[in-house]
Amino acid sequence: MAAPAHQQKSGGKTAGELVRGQIFEVGPRYTSLNYIGEGAYGMVVSAIDTETKSKVAIKKISPFEHQTYCQRTLREIKILTRFKHENIINISDILRAPSIEEMKDVYIVQCLMETDMYKLLKTQQLSNDHVCYFLYQILRGLKYIHSANVLHRDLKPSNLLLNTTCDLKICDFGLARVADPDHDHTGFLTEYVATRWYRAPEIMLNSKGYTKSIDVWSVGCILAEMLSNRPLFPGKHYLDQLNHILGVLGS
């Protein structure tokens, strides 16, 4: 549960609400902040939008310490503010400091989803009906993404958000790129070890020349995991990942 922060900003403005040691400057529109989770790029809380009376998720990002974080944040904002689809997470609001000098954090407001596919698969086995419905929504969202000539490049269970009515939304477009088979992608995806299990072999074997098929490969890995409740290719490192793939598909 969030608590009002007692610190003061310059000019006498209150510093916002305190959530697990971090100050969220999102008032007065967004209230009743509650911790959801956090990752490498920031903390996520739930809140009440006092204008719409709806629950929202607010992601606090502090991207300015590293150029890569800045690029990833800007890329995601640019894509999601242009996309509008039922199976892709939206951005309803962006909160930032009034001046460049004061800007340390960015707050991205999105619709609140209760869980994600990764957490769901940790707790239960999906029925065939659920698998079919989730797969339909993934492919529906992916078709929209690809129709804009964009590659997501990081599809995995934790990037598929779900709510209690089984609606699915694709999120995290920080690694997305315009589809360009001649572009050299060396050094960008190799940093993100968590995505290895869902990477197409052409990404690991060739720095450029891959297409929208890399996202389709990831969807296939996710489908297998939804059916079996375990990762299809759980490689421990680069070579082990290729061995897992060759062990199932052959050479």
Task: For residue 208, tell me if it sits in a domain.
Answer: yes
pLDDT in tens, 107-145: 999 999 999 999 999 999 999 999 999 999 999 999 999
pTM of the predicted model as reported, rounded to 2 decimal places: 0.85
The pLDDT of residue 78? 92
53 and 80 in a single domain? The answer is yes
Handedness of CA 222, 224, 230, 231 (dihedral sign): negative
Q: Which helix (H) or strand (E) holds 44?
A: strand 42-49
Task: For residue 10, tell me if it sits in a domain.
Answer: no
pLDDT in tens, 39-87: 767 899 999 999 999 999 999 988 777 777 788 888 899 999 999 999 9
CA distance 154 to 67: 20
144 and 74 in a single domain? The answer is no
136 and 55 in a single domain? The answer is no
CATH, residue 121:
1.10.510.10
240 and 203 in a single domain? The answer is yes
Task: For residue 28, tell me if it sits in a domain.
Answer: yes
171 and 239 in a single domain? The answer is yes
Domain with 47 in it: 16-111
Task: For residue 3, tell me if it sits in a domain.
Answer: no
Give the tokens for residue 106.
Answer: 């960015």
CATH, residue 82:
3.30.200.20
The closest alpha carbon to 168, from 197, 198, 192, 142, belongs to: 142
Give the tokens for residue 47.
Answer: 């809140």
Q: Which long-range contacts (CB under 8 A, 24 or more apart) does 221-225 make?
A: 221/197, 222/117, 222/138, 222/155, 222/156, 222/157, 222/160, 222/198, 223/131, 223/135, 225/121, 225/157
141 and 237 in a single domain? The answer is yes
Beta-ladder partners of 61: 42, 106
Model confidence at 98, in pLDDT bands (50, 70, 90)?
Answer: confident
Tell me 229's DSSP state.
S
Task: For residue 41, tell me if it sits in a domain.
Answer: yes
pLDDT at 5 over 60: no
The set of catalytic residues is 154
Please say which residue of 80, 111, 142 terminates a domain.
111
Please say which residue of 93, 111, 129 terminates a domain.
111
Q: Which has more pLDDT, 7 or 196?
A: 196
Please say which residue of 111, 140, 162 terminates a domain.
111
pLDDT in tens, 169-220: 999 998 898 886 556 555 554 444 347 899 998 888 875 667 899 999 999 9
The pLDDT of residue 13? 47
| Secondary structure (DSSP) of 161-172 | EE-TT--EEE--
Average pLDDT over residues 154-164: 96
Model confidence at 89, in pLDDT bands (50, 70, 90)?
Answer: very high
212 and 168 in a single domain? The answer is yes
127 and 75 in a single domain? The answer is no
pLDDT at 239 over 80: yes
Q: Is 242 left (phi over 0), alpha (psi -120 to 50) or beta?
A: alpha
Average pLDDT over residues 231-244: 92
The pLDDT of residue 1? 54
99 and 164 in a single domain? The answer is no
Structural domains of the chain, count: 2
243 and 121 in a single domain? The answer is yes
Task: For residue 5, tell me if it sits in a domain.
Answer: no
Average pLDDT over residues 2-30: 67
9 annotated ligand-binding residue:
no
Task: For residue 82, tell me if it sits in a domain.
Answer: yes
63 and 123 in a single domain? The answer is no
37 and 72 in a single domain? The answer is yes
Average pLDDT over residues 216-241: 95
